[in-house]
Structure 1
Amino acid sequence: MKFLTHGFICAVLLICAFACTQPQSATEAERTAVVPVQLNVENAYGAEFEPLEVVAAPSFISRYTEKEIADTINTVLRGEVTEVCQAKGCWMTINSGQEDEIMVKFKDYGFFMPKDISGREVVMNGMAYYQITPVDELRHYAEDAGKDAAEIAAITEPVKELRFLADGVKLLK
């Protein structure tokens, strides 16, 4: 009986050792591989990036609270452009799915977006953060957007807003 028990234990140990040293099958490797998201890109601006995960702007807003974005969150966002700086294309706003939009600026003022892309979708790589934007800056953005004097004068309070500093943007077809 002792011989059978020892033989059984040895067989189990050999099977475990053999199973643990086997390479992953192709299907397991494929399941764990990280594959870049496929996008239908018309133009790219700024730094090149290959997104592994893209978060829709409204999902991002609902996923993270203001407290969680106390400093910054590095992410890749996808959203619809609602407005672009008409002076140079040096900023844009993205539809957040809520009342407030996401203000997007470009890292180191290193690139500009076309002025006529309102309504188009973009995918952006960068950092999201909250900022209190002073009245003079808000008025400046309103001027850049082509707002009339009455709309600009109506801006009288600073606003806490979600910002995004993009180092790369892909304009989708």
Structure 2
Amino acid sequence: MKKILFLFALSFAILGCKNEKSEETPLVEAEEIAINYQTFGDKISDENVLSKSEMMDKYKSLKPGDTVNVKFTATVKDVCQKKGCWMNLEMGEQEAMVRFKDYGFFMPKDIAGQEIIVNGKAYVEEMSVEDQRHYAEDGGKSVEEIAAITAPKRTLAFEADGVLIPEVEKQ
């Protein structure tokens, strides 16, 4: 595998060293930086992505039963520590609970704090005490924290069909 990667890199280096004359570009032009992503679920792109604040505006306009198809970026707050079957995204004043379409894929359990892109359906729901306690247990909350959950709450929900996580370069 290492030999293949080496040959691939070598071929790009050779092709990039052609002695073609081209017009010089001004130094003030910004370079495009390509980001490599790990893809989970359906293949999606990093184009036309809403910010966290734009997404919050959409959530505020939703009523229970409404859905909206959207792609947005946010920071992962926490991930199910049993098998990565859900995650919470920081949305500012609230967090959004993300589940994955048909449990077709799962997230790595160590991505808390990373900025990711999710694509799918956003909606609001009334989460029961039982479901809140279940997710709190999966998230590794203490017995006291779980017992303190006593009332249903309006939550921001998201069913992701695709997720992009930026790849971290290893040195």
TM-score by length of 1: 0.73
- Aligned-partner residue type, residue 49 of structure 1: I
**Aligned position for 1:148:** 142
Amino acid at match of 2:76: V
1:78 Cα offset (Å): 0.3
Counterpart of 2:82?
Answer: 87
Q: CA-atom RMSD, angstroms?
A: 1.8
| Identity between Structure 1 and Structure 2 (%) | 44
Structure number with the higher helix fraction is 1
3-state SS of paired residue (1:60): helix
User: How far is 1:133 from its partner?
Assistant: 0.6
**5+ unaligned residues in a row in structure 1: which ranges?**
1-37
Q: 2:152 aligns with which of 125, 133, 158?
A: 158
Separation in 2 of the partners of 1:65 and 1:146? 29
Q: CA deviation at 1:145?
A: 0.5
Aligned counterpart in structure 2 of residue 46 of structure 1, from 36, 41, 47: 41
- Unaligned runs of 5+ residues in structure 2 are 1-32
**2:163 aligned partner:** 169
Letter in 1 for 2:97: M
SS of the residue 2:60 aligns to: coil
Post-superposition shift, 1:116?
A: 0.4
Paired residues of 1:90 and 1:111 also in contact (CA < 8 A): yes
- Tell me the amino acid that sits aligned with residue 108 of structure 2: P
Q: Distance in 1 between matches of 2:130 and 2:90?
A: 23
Question: Is 1:77 aligned to residue 77 of structure 2?
Answer: no
Task: Return the alpha-carbon distance in structure 2 between the equivalents of residues 55 and 70 of structure 1.
Answer: 22
CA contact (8 A) 1:69 1:128 kept: no
Cross-structure match for 1:60: 55
1:156–1:63: structure 2 CA closer, same or farther, 3 Å change rule? same
